[in-house]
A = this chain, B = another copy of it.
Amino acid sequence: MEAEDPRADGAATRRIRLDIAYDGGGFRGWTKQPGLRTVQGELESALSMIFSRFGEAPGLTVAGRTDAGVHALGQVAHLDLTVAQLDSLARPRGGVPSLDPADAAASLARRINGILGLDSDVHVSGSRLAPEGFDARFSAVWRRYEYRVADASGPRNPLERNRTLWYPAELDVARMSLAAGSLLGLHDWAAYCKPREGATTIRTLQDFGWNRGTDGVLVASVRADAFCHSMVRALVGATIAVGEGKLEVSRLVVLRDRLVRTSEFKVAPAKGLTLMEVGYPQAEELGARATVTRARRTVETAPPLTPGREMV
């Protein structure tokens, strides 16, 4: 189980929210793994340098535990700092040390980025004091992903090859959008998920559509309360099969409602996928939301919470 309070000694802590962007191509996903380069591993290693004199470094809790090769522009994580750790971030400003906690929290992004370097493939776009009750994972009410496909009818931009699937056939975007729209709602997505023991596959698909941008690239936008493992890439792969004319529009709902995985479409590769945004309620509702989510998931999943729940 995840500890409710990482500082079991009872020392007062302040929670910091980090907004994070990364190119997933060089990472074996978000989650720390021994001997592998991961986003969490890189960031926690920077944190351990910044807080080296305090012993154990603060750990990160994340909204979307992205798989190997998946990118993020709007990833969100949190960490808890003791008052002493937070104070250590305060920098002299005009000669006078600032002890304003908001300034100290905001400086953490700069400190991390300074260690990562200017041209790093992971970048902390902001850090700030989190509102009371905020939990990057359990407060989240939705996640939105985008998937980029350059098909045979459009130009291919080598500068975007690391985040765009190049597909060798022409795709019918109108059919793909029809199929995407037919799937919306609260359903059991077992047919579109890699099974994970003890993990629910019931999710609400809130929004799913395809559009061709002015540059000719097809972009899917997919939003749900949360996603089970490989769900976004299965949804993308299924609608691509429809766009190529290999499946009927109506087939995707039929396959979903059988609740078993199928070989009628392929899960799309990770490289085209980017976590764009995570949605949170207003500050005043945060505490209630985290409690509800945590309780529901605990009931659903029994012991212990498996990692990778929001992996996509």
Residues of A within 8 A of B (CB): 21-23, 71, 73, 118-123, 125, 155-159, 161-163, 166, 168, 274
Contact = CB atoms under 8 A, between A and B. Distances in A.
Given A118-B166, A119-B166, A23 B71 contact: no
A161 B155 CA distance: 21
18 contacts: A21-B155, A21-B156, A21-B158, A23-B159, A73-B159, A118-B166, A118-B168, A119-B161, A119-B166, A120-B158, A121-B158, A123-B156, A123-B158, A125-B155, A125-B156, A159-B162, A159-B163, A159-B274
A158 B71 CA distance: 9
Contacts of A161: 23, 119-121
Nearest to A117: B166
A161 to B, nearest CB: 6
B159 A71 contact: yes
Nearest to A19: B155
Contacts of A122: 158
Nearest to A154: B125
A73 B118 contact: no
A169 B8 CA distance: 41
A87 B179 CA distance: 43
Contacts of A23: 158-159, 161
A274 B157 CA distance: 12
Nearest to A152: B110
Nearest to A116: B158
A238 to B, nearest CB: 21
Contacts of A21: 155-159
Contacts of A120: 158, 161
A158 B118 contact: no
Contacts of A125: 155-156
Nearest 9 pairs between A and B by C-beta?
Answer: A23-B158, A118-B166, A123-B156, A121-B158, A123-B158, A23-B159, A125-B155, A159-B163, A21-B158
Contacts of A157: 21, 73, 123
Contacts of A155: 21, 125
Nearest to A118: B166
A125 B73 CA distance: 28
Contacts of A274: 159
A125 B120 CA distance: 30
Nearest to A25: B159
Contacts of A73: 157, 159
A119 B163 CA distance: 11
A86 to B, nearest CB: 24
A122 B158 CA distance: 6
